[in-house]
Structures are given as structure tokens and as C-alpha cells.
Structure 1
Amino acid sequence: MRLADIVIPDTPAARGALEVATAYCSPALLNHSVRAYLWAAAYGAMNGVAFDAELLYVAAMMHDIGLVKEFDSHTVPFEEAGGHVAWVFAAGAGWPVERRVRASEVVVRHMWDEVDVEQDPEGHLLELSTGLDISGRRPEDWPAGLRAEVLDRYPRLGLGPEFTACFRDQAERKPGSLAGRFVRAGVAERIAANPLDR
């Protein structure tokens, strides 16, 4: 599997989602969102997981949008805020209600410990890919050559410290959130030890 083998959907919704992420995310968070899709799509292709590439791509671009100041919510966890943004974006893209709900679900579920591949292949793939990109979980599931190519094309740009600061802020303001739980469980140490940063 090489970077050139990964299909990036070329649809109005996919292009729009990238435009939104580019406009609102920091360079590090934008590259993280792109990598989240690439890792997810590669894993799906390599492991025979059938998935909707457009849905996965839109969800990947939106999955951390709730961390940026313009969409940060003081009432719900960032992944839920991002799910709402994904639903609204999908409505604007003309997606039917069921597909808007799916976009929201995938964004919310990326924070789960595990997502059932049979029930939600896109959520499963995004949960795996963000686990790799943020805390370095299971890097051996992706070929070393692919990892090197993706990181060269979409560098990390100091994602670790930036993301740790975002999570600590979320945890302080929303201690009952999953981000709060992750901070208390030592996510900062896992982020700092991510082998993708070596």
C-alpha cells in the first residue's frame, strides 16, 4: 500500500469539507485531519473493510472541528459539538437526513474506545486512525513505507503539544467529558511518546 493507492473522493461535499477544515483548523490540526482519513482509508483497503469514502472523508475533516474556538461548545464535549457541525455541513451539502446523522455519528464515535466495524465501518476506521495519529496506537498495522510517505506529505507540525493543550483545556472546562477522562488516564504521556513523532 502506497499513498498513491489511497482514493480521495472528489465530490462537492469532500471538497467543501476540506475547505472548511482549511479555513478553521490550525495547520497541525488540518494535517491531522487529512492523515486521519488517509490512515483510515488505507486500513480499510488493506483489511477488506468496505466503507463509504465520501462519508469517511467528510467525517475526518470535521472530527476535531469542535476543538477550534469558533465551534467550541461550553455545554457539550468537543466531539458532540463536531457532530453537530458535521450534521449542519451535510445538510448544506444536500445530503438526506439519514446521511447527515451518519456523518454526526462517525464524528462522535471517533472518541469511543472501540467502534463495531459491522455496525459502523466508517466510525471504526476513524477511531483506529485517530488512535494512531494522536497517541501512536498500533503503528504496525500500517506499512512503514506508507507511514513515511504520509508523514512526509502531511507533516505533524507540532501536533502533539498543540493537541495536548486542547485536551487539557477541554478537561478543565468539561471534566465529565471523554477528553477529561483521557487526560486523567495519562493521554499527555501517550501523545508525547507517539512513535510517529520520532
Structure 2
Amino acid sequence: MISAVRIPDSQVAREAAELVRQHESEMLFNHSVRVFLFGAMKGIRQNLKFDSELLYVAALFHDLGLADAYHTETKRFEVDGADAARAFLKSHGIPEPKADLVWEAIALHTTPGIPQYMRPEIALTNAGVLVDVVGIGYDDYTPEQRAQVITDFPRGDFKNEFIEVQTCSALKKPLTTFGTVNFDYIEHRDLTFHKPNACTRIRNTPWLT
């Protein structure tokens, strides 16, 4: 129990954690569990009804697309992680609607302005990511809550390590970053790199007007 949040301990939850641990660094794994904890705390605070196990799996898998074993050449890393989570859940007999819900939570976790209006598991995954990565909602948690979470799942040199992992992933498949926050990682590393301009792309279509 961490601040009234119980980390799921079902067979599915344990096997999900074991799989993710095999492929992620300690930094990413700890981040993923913090995402669950902060998301669940917010859900409890707002009296939301959510499936704790599905939220946990979504949080665990949300960055798995950054791992080499789940990297694809043409998909956003979020979709790689979402695909892995859905396949894992379906292989464990989880009904398709629940597996699809987790897919959506992971695929949308970096999309601004939309997840917070969707089902609780989607909104809370996004909220957990936002507070742990960029500090949005930081003051909604008590100092005691924040301290307990990072004591059990330390941040270490999170800021630098996380930016490095995200940048390496983005540089491997830059075309997947256009129109997403993931382009920022490339631009941060190489200021001469420019993404396609939307207006230019519209004007260069084969349509006459």
C-alpha cells in the first residue's frame, strides 16, 4: 500500500511486471510504476471508478515501445507499447474490450488535450505521465505522497536519462515524430533538423486549389 493505493498483485499484474522488467531499464520501470501510483491517487481523489489492474498494465507498458525488443521502424513508440500490451492481455484471456481500453490508454498517453476527457483508465494513465515527466499536477499531491512514491520507486537521474532514451528512440524513426511531442527530442539534440511544415505540405498536394 502506498498512500491508500494497492499495487495489483494478480497473476496478470505480476507477469506484466516481470515482462516489462526484462526489457526496460530500472529508470523506465520505476517511472512506469510511479505513473500508476500517481494516476491511481488522482482517481481516488476524484472518486473515479477505474479498473486498477488495467490501469497498472497500461502504466507498465506505456513506454515499452522505447525498448529495442518492441521497437518498430514505422510506428510511433506509443503504438508499439500499446500493441505489446494488447497482445499480452489477450494472451492471458482478457476480453478484447478491456485489452482495447489499455491500448487506447497507452497510444494516447502523450497526446495533449484529449485523454483527460476519455474513460478513467485513459485519463489517469495520461495524468500519471504528466505529473511524473513534466510536473503537471505536482501540487495536487501532498509532500508525503510524493516522498513515499519516490522512496519506493526512486527517480535517480530521471530527467537526463529519460530525455536520452526518448531522443534515441525518436532519432531511429524521425518520421513517426512529426505532429507529436516526440519531435521535441530530435530538435533538442539537433537544432538544424526541421520538421515538415503543415502549410507547405498542404500547398504541395496534387490538388489544383
Query: TM-score if structure 2 supplies the norm length?
Result: 0.82
Question: Residue 137 of structure 2 corresponds to which residue in structure 1?
Answer: 138
The aligned length equals 186
**Rounded Cα–Cα distance in structure 2 between residues aligned with 1:160 and 1:67:** 16
Q: Partners in 2 of 1:47 and 1:13 — Cα distance?
A: 26
- Alpha-carbon spacing, 1:112–1:68, altered in 2? closer, same or farther (3 Å): same
Please tell me whether the aligned partners of residues 49 and 121 of structure 1 are also in contact (alpha carbons under 8 angstroms).
Answer: yes
Decide whether aligned partners of structure 1 residues 116 and 79 sit closer, same or farther in structure 2, where only a CA change above 3 A counts.
closer
Q: 1:148 to 1:87 in 2, by over 3 A?
A: same
Structure 1 counterpart of 2:90: 91
Matching residue's letter, 1:52? D
- Which amino acid in structure 1 is aligned with residue 34 of structure 2? R
How many angstroms apart in 2 are the aligned matches of 1:8 and 1:115? 26
Give the SS at the match of 1:94: coil
Would you identify which runs of 4 or more consecutive aligned residues in structure 1 move more than 4 Å? none
Question: In structure 2, what is the equivalent of residue 73 of structure 1?
Answer: 72
Distance 1:58 1:148 in 2: 23
How far apart are the structure 2 equivalents of 1:32 and 1:5? 19
Residue 4 of structure 1, CA deviation: 4.2
Counterparts of 1:182 and 1:108 in 2: how far apart (Å)? 18
Gaps (5+ residues) in structure 2?
Answer: 189-209
Identity of aligned residues (%): 30
Note the aligned Cα RMSD (angstroms): 2.0
- The equivalent of 1:28 in structure 2 is 27
Of the structure 1 ranges 65-74 and 177-186, higher mean CA displacement relative to structure 2 is found in 177-186
How far, CA to CA, are the matches of 2:187 and 2:119 in structure 1? Answer: 26
Give me the TM-score of the superposition, normalised by structure 1: 0.86
Match of 1:181 among 180, 183, 188: 183
1:28–1:159 contact (8 Å) kept in structure 2: yes
Aligned mates of 1:179, 1:71 — CA distance in 2: 20
Contact 1:65/1:71 (<8 A) preserved:
yes
- How far did residue 15 of structure 1 move? 1.1
| Greater Cα shift, 107-116 or 149-158 | 107-116
Q: After the TM superposition, which of the residue ranges 177-186 and 151-160 deviates more from structure 2? A: 177-186
Contact 1:33 1:61 in 2 (8 A): yes
1:47 and 1:99 mapped to 2: Cα distance?
Answer: 22
Shift of 1:174: 3.0
How far apart are the structure 1 equivalents of 2:168 and 2:48? 35
Matches of residues 15-164 of structure 1 in structure 2 within 5 Å?
15-117=14-116, 119-164=118-163
Other structure's SS at 2:110 match:
coil
- Distance in 1 (CA, whole Å) between partners of 2:96 and 2:77 is 22
- Asked whether the 8 Å contact 1:174–1:180 carries over to 2, the reply is no
The code of the aligned residue for 1:183 comes to Y
Change (3 A) 1:121 1:115: farther
Post-superposition shift, 1:132? 1.1
